[in-house]
Amino acid sequence: MRAYLLYSRHRLGWYALSGRQALTRHWQWLLLAALIVPGVPVLPLLAGAAQPLAALVTPGLGWLERLALLVAVEAFAAAWALMQRRGLAGGAFAAYAATLPVPKPVDRLVDLTVLLVADLLPLLVFAVALAGSKSAASTTGIVALLALTLALQLLVLGAGRARGTVRHEKSSSRHWLRMPPALGVQLGIFAEHKTAVAMRLGAVVLVCWGALMLARGFRFDGRALPTGIAATAVIDLLLGGLYRVLEAGHQRARDYLSTLPLRPGFWMRRDTGLLLGIGTASLLSLLAPLVVGGAASVATGLWVLAGGLALLGALRWAVVRGGRFAPLLAAALAAGWTGAAIAAVLR
């Protein structure tokens, strides 16, 4: 018991420290969110998030829909743990803690304790779903789903801790063959931050899907194109964050890269070109259905595509050169572009 209390206190302390550091890094985005959406209705949002949980234990739901919902819930739970895996594992304390003679049951119990603290928001959603359950069967189903979710998160956390060092060593020595060397370096940097990159690309897919669902709900009328333009700006902001990932990777290898016969601005051009390629594919998947649905002409769609790519290129300056105020500069640039683009297409 004493070992559990001592170990859990240190792990929770490191998790709190990583949380404070994350808030310090992202305070500008939190400020923007508070300014854009003042007075967020917490209870309705929790009730809306609890609806998929309640639907999972609904007797009349088909097995295919139930499986899709289950996969979505568990994927979110795994992503929630992956985003915080460093803090959950103990941060800088994790390497030292791995050398301690902590019994495995105590280690797993401390993992569960830290997870319960980190899962405060998801646990509130489960609590709302339990409060709205109308039968013992549905209550049992939600409790079983919660147990499955925690077990999956423990598995993700344990696998990440067990393979963290090995994965780092492999990724640092990985050779990306059969492709241009510059692209191999960029993909290697993305592989070093695969979770963050995957989360951003997944968010891009969700934004595209949500905007197209709204456009379909609007029956591709006059509201559909402004929705697509706003979604274009959000996609650019999500992809623009990858400039920072690439720039940080180049900075770590600056001493080595400085010995190569590269022209000035070599990586700036390569990084911008790579993200413009990703952005073209992302924006086409959003704008092409709007053109097909009749919300915009081909010329307007191409104009929005060109403007979105120009915004994505301009975001490099805000993200890489903006310093501490990079998020505010990027958001202001995207907001200005969105307003100007909507005004241009609606005049």
Same domain, 24 and 116: yes
Of 141, 172, 203, the residue that ends a domain is 172
Same domain, 226 and 139: no
Nearest to 240 by CA among 315, 168, 145, 329: 315
Taking residue 159's Cβ as centre, other Cβ atoms within 10 Å add up to 11
Of 114, 145, 172, the residue that ends a domain is 172
pLDDT at residue 173, rounded to an integer: 40
Same domain, 200 and 138: no
Same domain, 17 and 138: yes
Show the tokens assigned to 208: 């595209």
pLDDT at residue 176, rounded to an integer: 46
User: Residue with structure tokens 């854009």?
Assistant: 36
Nearest to 152 by CA among 206, 97, 261, 71: 71
Q: Identify the segments of the chain with pLDDT beneath 70.
A: 21-43, 45, 91, 159-179, 257
Q: Report phi then psi at 262, rounded to 5.
A: -105, 140
Same domain, 159 and 186: no
∠ CA 42-202-314, nearest 5°, is 95
- pTM of the prediction? 0.65
Amino acid in position 6: L
∠ CA 171-279-204, nearest 5°, is 75
> Considering its fold, how many domains does the chain have in total?
2
Which residues are CB-neighbours of 323 under 8 A, at least 6 positions away?
Answer: none
Same domain, 61 and 153: yes
Same domain, 340 and 286: yes
Same domain, 115 and 199: no
Same domain, 309 and 271: yes
Q: Helix 224-252 vs helix 266-292: angle between axes, to the nearest 10 degrees?
A: 160
Of 172, 197, 212, the residue that ends a domain is 172
Same domain, 325 and 231: yes
Q: 166 lies in which domain range? A: 2-172
Widest CA span in the chain: 71
Which residues are CB-neighbours of 43 under 8 A, at least 6 positions away?
Answer: none
Nearest to 36 by CA among 304, 230, 316, 311: 230
Residue 284 to residue 277: CA distance in whole angstroms = 11
Q: Report phi then psi at 59, rounded to 5.
A: -60, -35
CA atoms within 13 A on the CB side of 52: 18
Same domain, 109 and 126: yes
pLDDT at residue 199, rounded to an integer: 82
Same domain, 60 and 78: yes
pLDDT at residue 102, rounded to an integer: 75
pLDDT at residue 29, rounded to an integer: 61
